[in-house]
Structure 1
Amino acid sequence: MITPRFSCSQTEESVIISIYCPSVRAADVEIHVEETLVSVHINPYFLRLNFSYPLVEDESSLANYDPSSGYLTLTLTKENKGQVFDDLDLLAKLLAPRPAVPHPTIEVVSEGTEQTDQTEQDDLAMRTRSLSLHRKEIDLSLEREEILRAAENDWQLPQEVPEPPLSTSVQKYYGFLNMHSGYFRHVTHTENEVNELGADAEVCTVAERRRKRLQHEEQKWDEEYYMADFADDEYIRELLTWTHPHTDHIENFQYTEEENAVMLRLPRKEYLATPTQTHNLYLTLLTLLFAYAYESRTTQHDPTPESAWTISTLTPAFSALDPPNSAAVSVADPLTFSTDELSETFVTSYRRSLAFPLYRSFILAEACRMDVAGFLSRGKRTVVRCLLEMKNILDHHEVYYVYSKVWVDDFCVWTQAYASDDMLLGLGKQVAELRIAKSSIGWRLEALEAATQEIEERESDSDDEDSDDSA
C-alpha cells in the first residue's frame, strides 16, 4: 500500500482531510471512521490517521473527488462542535499507531541499559503479576482470526515488545531507546571518521563508550589551537552577530511541501519509554540541537560538505553512541530537570565544540546554547524543523546517514507525537538561564585566556618601544 500525500485543516464543526491520489476510481474509495481513528482505502493508496478527538460520519460528512487535480477531500464532523483539534500539521503524530487499549501497557527495560532504576523494576514486576488469569487464557484461535482480518484490511496489528536478548550475548544495543544494532558491524570498512569506538562499536558497554569518548576528547584538545582562536577572534565575533532564522517568531507556522513529504516517509512506531528513558531523551535532544546550532551558525544556515561531519562529531550519541544518561532522576517527578544535569549535558557539548571543529571558542559555544534555548522556546514545530534539516544533511552523506537511521528519524517522530510543548518551553527557559563556568570544562580555559592576553600586551608594548626607538 502507498501512503498518499495529505493535509488536514478544520472549521468550527468539521475536520477536512485533503488526500492526493491521482488516477483512481472514486467509486472504489472505502472510508471508515471509528471515534479518533480514520481509515481511507482507495487502491493502491491507504491512509490511517489517529486524531486527538473523536469524529463521526453523519449527514454533514462529505467525500468529494476531483479528477482534474487528483485530490480526494473528506469533510468529517466533529463529535463535539467547536472543539479545536491541535497538531493537525504534525503528520507523524497523525500517522502514529493508536495505542492498543485492550492490551496492558508494560514499560520494558531497554536492552542496552546496564543499570536500571530499582523502582521501575519493582513497578514493572508488580504490574506483570497483576495481569488477570482471564487475560492469560485468551482464545488463540480468536486472536489468529483477528490478525488475519486486520492484515486483509491493513488495520493496526497487535504488537508485543520483543524479549530482551540473553545477558550472555556480546551484542550491545544503541540509538533511540536502545532499539538498534548491527549498523556498525563493518564500520572499519567505511570512511567513518567520527566513530570513536573503532571496530568494537557493536560490543562496547555503556561504560566503555563513555571512557573512550572522554579519552578521545582529551587527545584532541589542543591548547595552542584554543589560544589562537581566542587571540584572532574577528571572524568568530562576526558569527556571533548572526541570528538564526528559527529563533525568530514565526506567524502562522507551516511546514513546506518538502518537509511534509519527508515526514510521510518517517517510520511509524509506538514508543514504550519508561519515565527515566523519556527524561534522558529530552537531555539527548539538547545535544542534537546544540550540534545543529553550531553547524548552522558557523555556516550561516548554508550547509557545506563538512556539515554532516560537524553534526556527527559534536553529538556524543553519534560519535561514541554515548547519549546523556542521568542517574539522578526523581521518581516522584521524572520530567523535572536539575540545573546540575543540564549543565553536565551542555559541558559535554561545549567540550566537543572546543576540541574538534574548525572554530573553537567558548563564547561561540555560549551562542549555540542560546540558539538551543530559542528553538525550544518556539515549541515542538520549530524543534522538528531543526531535526528535519539535520536529517537532510545526514541523509545526503554516504556514511553518516547511519546516524539519521538510529537517532534522528525516531526523534522526528517522537518529538511530534510524544514530546510536550510545555516541557520544551520550560526546558528552553532553563537552558537560557544556565551559567556554564569555564572551570567546569576541565581544560583551564581561564588560565589560557589570561596567558594569551598577557602575550598580546607584551607584543603591543614591544611594538610601541620599537616605534619610539625608530623615531
Structure 2
Amino acid sequence: MITPRFTCSQTEESVIISIYCPSVRAQDVEIHVDETLVTVHINPYFLRLNFSKSLIEDDASSAKYDPSSGYLTITLTKENKGEEFDDLDLLAKLLAPRPSVPQPSIEVISNEPAASEDDDLAARTEALSLDRERREILQAAENDWQLPQEVPEPPLSTSIQKYYGFLDMHSGYFRHVTHTENEVNELGSDAETCTPSERRRRRSEHENKKWDEEYYMADYADDEYIRELLEWRHPHATTTGDFQYTDEENAVILRLPRKEYLPTQTQTHNLYLTLITVLFSYAYESRTTQLDPTPESAWTLSMLIPAFSALDPPCVSPADPLTFSAAALADVLVTSYRRSLAFPLYRSFILAEACRNDVGQFLSRGKRTVVRCLLEMKNILDHHEVYYVYSKVWLNDFCVWAQAYASDVVLLELGKAVTELKIEKSLIGWNLEALEAATHEAEEGDSDSDDPDSDDSSPALI
C-alpha cells in the first residue's frame, strides 16, 4: 500500500483531511473512524491517522473527490465541538502507531438466589473464586502494565555482532566498510564488533591524535574570517511567526519509516543528549557555510558527531531520567567542542561557543524547528554516495521520534540549560589557555621587533 500525500486542518466544529490520490475511483473509498483513529483506504492508497482527540461520523461529515485535481477531501466532526486539535501539521506524529496498552477484562456475574443450602454454598464458593481472580488480575495490571520496566543486560553474549544507531536497532551497515571510501568511520573493519567501551576509547584516542596545537594557534592569531562567521545569524534561530513545513519537507516526512518507539526513560534521556551533539554538528556546518552546503558538508556533519564517526552516542544512567544535570550536558558538549577543534577547517573555541548558543536556540523553538534542522542534515547526507548510511541508522529514526515523541517542554528546558551552560577551556584537555597566552606573547614579540624605536634596534653601519 502507498501512503499518499496529505494535509490536515480544522475549523471550530470539524477536522478536514485533504489527500492527494489521483486516478482512483471515488466509489471505492473506505473510511473508518474509531474515536481518535481514522483509516482511509482507496486502492492503492492507505492512510491511518492518530489524532489527539476524538472524531465522529455524522450528518455533517462528508467525503468529496475532485478528479481534476486528484484530491479527496474528508470532513469529520469533532466529538466535542470547539476543541483545539494539537499538532495537525506534524505528519509523522499523526502517522505514528497508536500505542496499545492491554487492559484487564473483568466480567461481573450475578447469581440467582440459591434454592438450597448446598446451592447457596456453591454460589458463595464461586463468588469467592471470582473475587480472588479479580484481585489477581488487578494486581497483575498494577504490577506489570503500569510500572516502567527496564530490560536487564544479558550477563553473557555469545555473538560478536554488536548493534548501533538509533536505540541500537541497526547492524550490518559497515560489514563491507573496507570497500568504501568512508573517511568518517573511526572503527575501521571492527565497526560491527566493537563494544561501546572500545568505541569510546578509540574515539578519544583519535581526537588526541588529530589535535594540532599549531593549527589552533594559527586560527587563534588570524581569526578575521572566524569573526565574520560569528556575526552571522542562523535564520532558524531568529525567524518569528507561524511555522509551516514546505511541500518538499512534508514529502520527505511521508517517506520516513513508520515505527513505534518504546524506549525506557534512560534511553529517552540519552536520545535528548545525542540530539544535542547532532544539532551542534549541524550548527557548525551551517554557520561555516552560511546554509550553502559544499562538497565537504557531508563529511563535516558526520565527523563532528561521535554517534556517527565512532558509533559512540552519549550513554549515561542518570539518577533522575527526567532531568539533565549541568555536568552531564557539559560532558556531552565537551566531546563536540573537542571534535570541532581537531578535525574541520575552522578550529576556534569561540566558534564552538557560537554553535552551542545556536543549539540552545534550536531546542528552545521546539520540535518543529529541530525536525527542520534534521531534515536539512538528512538532505545533505542522502545525496552523498557513502555517508548516506548515517541517515539510515540515525537521522531517519531521529526525525520520526523528534516529531512524534519528543516533548516541547523538555526541549525548551534543555535549550535554556544549553544556552546558559558555561564550558571551561580546561575541560577540553588540550591546554587551550596556555596556547592562547603563548600566541599573545608571540604576537607582542613580533610587534616589538617591527618597532623602529625599540631598544633592540641597532644603528645602521655606514
Query: Normalized against structure 1, the TM-score is what?
Result: 0.86
Counterpart of 2:283 in 1: which secondary structure? helix
Q: Where does residue 337 of structure 1 map in the other structure?
A: 324
Counterpart of 1:399 in 2: which secondary structure? coil
Question: Is the contact made by 2:103 and 2:141 (CA closer than 8 Å) also made in structure 1?
Answer: no
Instruction: Tell me how far apart the structure 2 counterparts of residues 367 and 103 of structure 1 sit (CA, whole Å).
Output: 50
Q: 1:407 aligns with which of 394, 397, 400?
A: 394
Q: Where does residue 30 of structure 1 map in the other structure?
A: 30
Q: Where does residue 182 of structure 1 map in the other structure?
A: 172
Does 1:294 pair with 2:280?
no
Instruction: Tell me how far apart the structure 1 counterparts of residues 25 and 387 of structure 2 sit (CA, whole Å).
Output: 43
Offset, 1:164 = 8.4
Does 1:285 pair with 2:275?
yes
Q: Where does residue 111 of structure 1 map in the other structure?
A: none
Q: CA RMSD in A?
A: 2.1
Offset, 1:335 = 1.5
Offset, 1:427 = 0.5
Instruction: Tell me how far apart the structure 2 counterparts of residues 307 and 280 of structure 1 sit (CA, whole Å).
Output: 26
Q: Where does residue 380 of structure 1 map in the other structure?
A: 367
Instruction: Tell me how far apart the structure 2 counterparts of residues 252 and 95 of structure 1 sit (CA, whole Å).
Output: 22
Residue pairs, 1:32-181, within 5 angstroms: 32-102=32-102, 130=140, 167-181=157-171
- Name the CA shift for 1:46/1:374 in 2 (closer, same or farther; >3 Å): same
Offset, 1:273 = 0.3
Q: Where does residue 352 of structure 1 map in the other structure?
A: 339
Offset, 1:407 = 0.4
Does 1:259 pair with 2:245?
no
Does 1:431 pair with 2:413?
no
Instruction: Tell me how far apart the structure 1 counterparts of residues 34 and 140 of structure 2 sit (CA, whole Å).
Output: 30
Question: Is the contact made by 2:374 and 2:399 (CA closer than 8 Å) also made in structure 1?
Answer: yes
Query: Structure 2: 5+ residue runs without aligned partners?
Result: 105-136, 146-150
- Name the CA shift for 1:9/1:204 in 2 (closer, same or farther; >3 Å): same
Instruction: Tell me how far apart the structure 2 counterparts of residues 415 and 164 of structure 1 sit (CA, whole Å).
Output: 29
Instruction: Tell me how far apart the structure 1 counterparts of residues 228 and 263 of structure 2 sit (CA, whole Å).
Output: 42
Offset, 1:341 = 0.4
Question: Is the contact made by 2:217 and 2:436 (CA closer than 8 Å) also made in structure 1?
Answer: yes
Counterpart of 1:72 in 2: which secondary structure? strand
Q: Residue deviations 1:192-219, cap 9 Å, x none? A: 0010001100000010000000000000
- Name the CA shift for 1:246/1:398 in 2 (closer, same or farther; >3 Å): same
Instruction: Tell me how far apart the structure 2 counterparts of residues 36 and 190 of structure 1 sit (CA, whole Å).
Output: 47
2:39 is matched by which residue type in structure 1?
S
1:360 is matched by which residue type in structure 2?
R
Counterpart of 1:74 in 2: which secondary structure? strand
Q: Where does residue 199 of structure 1 map in the other structure?
A: 189
Question: Is the contact made by 2:281 and 2:304 (CA closer than 8 Å) also made in structure 1?
Answer: yes
Q: Where does residue 440 of structure 1 map in the other structure?
A: 427
Question: Is the contact made by 1:249 and 1:378 (CA closer than 8 Å) also made in structure 2?
Answer: no
Q: 2:208 aligns with which of 218, 222, 225?
A: 218
Q: 1:464 aligns with which of 443, 451, 461?
A: 451
Offset, 1:380 = 0.4
Q: 1:234 aligns with which of 198, 206, 224?
A: 224
Counterpart of 2:101 in 1: which secondary structure? coil
Counterpart of 1:429 in 2: which secondary structure? helix
Q: 2:406 aligns with which of 419, 423, 441?
A: 419
- Name the CA shift for 1:437/1:265 in 2 (closer, same or farther; >3 Å): same
Instruction: Tell me how far apart the structure 2 counterparts of residues 164 and 457 of structure 1 sit (CA, whole Å).
Output: 61
Counterpart of 2:450 in 1: which secondary structure? helix
- Name the CA shift for 1:470/1:192 in 2 (closer, same or farther; >3 Å): farther
Query: Structure 1: 5+ residue runs without aligned partners?
Result: 105-126, 136-160
Offset, 1:68 = 1.1
Task: Decide which structure has the larger Cα Rg and report it.
Answer: 2
Query: Normalized against structure 2, the TM-score is what?
Result: 0.87
Q: Percent same amino acid among aligned pairs? A: 79
Counterpart of 1:65 in 2: which secondary structure? strand
Offset, 1:72 = 0.4
Does 1:449 pair with 2:439?
no
Q: Where does residue 370 of structure 1 map in the other structure?
A: 357
- Name the CA shift for 1:470/1:269 in 2 (closer, same or farther; >3 Å): farther
Q: Residue deviations 1:308-346, cap 9 Å, x none? A: 00000000000000001113x12xx41200000000100
Q: 2:377 aligns with which of 384, 390, 393?
A: 390
Counterpart of 2:311 in 1: which secondary structure? coil
User: How many matched pairs?
Assistant: 417
2:187 is matched by which residue type in structure 1?
L
